[in-house]
A and B are shown apart, each in its own frame.
Chain A
Amino acid sequence: MIRPDAELLLDITDLHAAVEDQPILKGVNLQVRAGEVHAVMGRNGSGKSTLSKVLAGHPAYRVTGGSVRYRGDDLLELEPEQRARLGVFLGFQYPVEIPGVSNLEFLRVATNTRRVAQGQEELDTFEFEDHVRERLKVVQMDPAFLERSVNEGFSGGEKKRNEILQMALLEPVMAILDETDSGLDIDALRVVAAGVNQLAGDHNATVLITHYQRLLDEITPDFVHVMAAGRILRTGGRELAQELEQTGYDWVDQELAVQGVA
């Protein structure tokens, strides 16, 4: 929902970033207000995933210019864990498997860290079990997955459900979901999308990074951005996603050529 007077959560200005000295982001500008859902689309290699990793603070990505303000503060100064505690959440495209670390224990430690940052009481083991079982309903996940190691041996769909479960537990202010639709069949996609819709509200915002229109059939974006060559090339409403579905990304090359970037 677009409300021009809503709080400005994320303010990205001329962001440049590199990985191993290879420039990837070349001047990204993006503003996200509370209550909004943004979709960032674009081809492979356009910089979408890099943008999400830079926002979450992945140490392999180096910011070389520009600024990111989160609720008025400099986000780039913060460690990844500090960002998470303040409500920035990255849903991973490829959630990491961690053998030997119990999923339940991991979820409890993460949830309590966020709760403490929000000035809430920590949940003990029993309280957390009740809490997590309640939240499992958001993603219709089998409780058996709590007993396993983090993401170990999970199918693609189960990993993505586990990501949204973490989102449901951490109650982020700014959720960035990186290709959450990849590897999902249509039923799993609907479950995951329903979860995201259920968690979206007036006080938080979501940035969906996606290749395809089909996720946007389930989650209606307020804004659609097309990334190319490390920048946002075009911004529009939900109709832009539909247009992309029909015309593809060929126009991107022409536009980049006109701008002398490609």
Chain B
Amino acid sequence: MTGSTMAPLAPVQQRGRQALERLGLPNRGQEDWRLTNLKRLETLARLPLAKAPSDIPLPLAPDAGLRLVLDGVHDPLDGVSLPNGLSPLPTAELQQALGHTLDRCGCAEAWPVELNHASSQHVLALRVRGEAPPLELVMAGGAGLTSTRVLLLVEEKATLELLQVCLSEGASAQSHVLEVHLGQEAQLRHGLLAAADGEASFLAHLAVEQEPRSSYQLTSVVQGWSLGRIEPRVLQVDGQALTKLQGLAVTDGEQQLATHSSVRFDGPEGELDQMQKCLAAGRSHVIFNGAIQVPRQAQRTNAAQLSRNLLLSERARVDTKPELEIVADDVRCAHGATVSQLQEDELFYLRSRGISATDAAALLLRGACLDVINQLPGLADRWQPLNRVMQGLSR
């Protein structure tokens, strides 16, 4: 048996389907879904499963690193020989580990997770040891709903650079659930580039458990989804770990994109550095909900969260909400949120140097995006993240 197989998923699928029947669709009475465009969620839930991979062209696979394609239909490890540092998880271990991190992060029963479990046909489960080569996971399902499920056990002191790319077009939806367990002193640099043409939908849960002295750095660049919902859930099981979350969410037209992050420190001396940037154009709606939980045992936690929002049109809308639950008394937790428009003084400064109003606005937007995009793992360059984001903005 390999780490990518259907067998261990059968009971998970069963439970997922039962849960979906029991739960029904989320509704506005639920705080987490209050602002969601439920009509689009309903459309997504009704999509048939995708039967074929997408035909979006991909850049060449990386020279230094491994690309795996997750199309929801085929086994991503079929015909792949894994390099040193990466190995498939044996079935017994997979069965034991699958869902564990979701459970610890408190999102095992979230609707998008149940949807993913009900519809996933494969799970990619890998153990990461030592200095593993960079890993690129391309999620590229075709028309319909594509569900992809990944589990990574990053062992003590192991390091990994992971880039996930999700591209979609037309009436399709991508459901993704990732579970990561980071052993002590393990390091994961994680990039997520998710871009679509304004029609497709994207639901992603990224659940990460961190042992002490591990480091997790997530950079997400998400743009162009009719309905998008990204949920990074991080648990520092014993504190003393480093978490860095940087997000760029870009919307235009009638798009809606929500980022619901949650970070919990179940031990002392944990660190969090979080910045979420949102750029909303057209009549789009961008949502950020950033929960940070610092219970009594999490003394000397040092957490900072910043939400910066740029409204590019008068009809665009931003909802941003920090949610800090702090019980420990010896902690440093800072948070802030800004909502602004392109600054007239900045535009004038550039125009006074001969740069046209359109180019000046584009230069300012590029600047705002590059801050985050530059933090993506090196593998991302071939995907031209800046161009994708800028093309997605009509102005």
Q: Which residues of chain A have a CB within 8 Å of any CB of chain B? A: 56-60, 79-81, 83-85, 89-90, 92, 95-96, 98-101, 105-106, 109-110, 113-114, 117, 149, 166, 170
Contacts and interface: CB of A to CB of B under 8 A. Distances in A.
Given A99-B367, A109-B359, A109-B363, A59 B348 contact: yes
Given A92-B349, A100-B371, A60 B355 contact: no
A125 to B, nearest CB: 16
A113 B354 contact: yes
B350 interface: yes
Contacts of A166: 353
A85 B352 CA distance: 9
B354 A117 contact: yes
Interface of B: 343-346, 348-357, 359-360, 363-364, 366-371
B364 A59 contact: no
Contacts of A79: 351, 357
B355 A81 contact: yes
Nearest to B360: A81
B367 A170 contact: no
Contacts of A100: 364, 366-371
B359 A57 contact: no
Nearest to A113: B354
Given A58-B348, A60-B344, A92-B349, A81 B356 contact: yes
Nearest to B369: A100
B363 A106 contact: yes
B351 A109 contact: no
Contacts of A106: 350, 353, 363
A119 to B, nearest CB: 14
SS class, residues of chain B in contact with chain A: helix
Nearest to B356: A81
A59 B368 CA distance: 23
Contacts of A85: 354
A80 B352 contact: yes
A110 B356 CA distance: 10
Contacts of B344: 59-60
A115 to B, nearest CB: 10
Nearest to A90: B352
A110 B355 contact: yes
27 contacts: A57-B351, A58-B348, A59-B344, A80-B351, A80-B352, A81-B353, A81-B354, A81-B357, A84-B351, A84-B354, A96-B343, A96-B345, A98-B346, A98-B349, A100-B368, A100-B369, A100-B370, A109-B355, A109-B363, A110-B350, A110-B354, A110-B355, A113-B353, A117-B354, A149-B367, A166-B353, A170-B353
Contacts of A92: 349, 352
B352 A57 contact: yes
B322 to A, nearest CB: 22
Contacts of B366: 100-101
A90 B349 CA distance: 9
A43 B302 CA distance: 49
Instruction: Report which residue of B344, B345, B354, B370 has the largest number of chain A beta carbons within 10 angstroms of its beta carbon.
Output: B354
B364 A56 contact: no
Nearest to A88: B352
Contacts of A149: 367
Contacts of B367: 98-101, 149
B371 A56 contact: no
Given A99-B367, A99-B371, A101-B366, A110 B353 contact: yes
Contacts of B356: 81
B341 to A, nearest CB: 14
Instruction: Report which residue of A90, A92, A109 has the largest number of chain B beta carbons within 10 angstroms of its beta carbon.
Output: A109
Nearest to B348: A58
Nearest to A98: B346
A95 B349 contact: yes
Q: Which 8 A-B pairs have the closest CB atoms?
A: A100-B367, A84-B354, A110-B353, A101-B367, A113-B354, A96-B349, A80-B351, A81-B351
A83 B357 CA distance: 13
Given A92-B349, A101-B367, A170-B353, 5 more contacts: A83-B352, A85-B354, A99-B371, A100-B366, A113-B353
B370 A114 contact: no
A84 B353 contact: yes
B342 to A, nearest CB: 11
A117 B369 CA distance: 30
A148 to B, nearest CB: 12
Nearest to A116: B354
Contacts of A98: 346, 349-350, 364, 367
Contacts of B360: 81
Given A96-B346, A98-B346, A56 B352 contact: yes
Contacts of A110: 350, 353-355
Nearest to B368: A100
Instruction: Report which residue of A90, A92, A100 has the largest number of chain B beta carbons within 10 angstroms of its beta carbon.
Output: A100
Instruction: Report which residue of B346, B348, B359 has the largest number of chain A beta carbons within 10 angstroms of its beta carbon.
Output: B348
B386 to A, nearest CB: 11
A166 B349 CA distance: 12
A84 B352 contact: yes
Contacts of A96: 343, 345-346, 348-349
A58 to B, nearest CB: 6
A87 to B, nearest CB: 10
Contacts of B354: 81, 84-85, 110, 113-114, 117, 170
B15 to A, nearest CB: 45
A52 to B, nearest CB: 10
A92 B350 CA distance: 12
B77 to A, nearest CB: 40
A80 B379 CA distance: 41
A101 B386 CA distance: 13
A95 to B, nearest CB: 7
A101 B348 contact: no
A60 to B, nearest CB: 7
A83 B363 CA distance: 20
Contacts of A95: 349
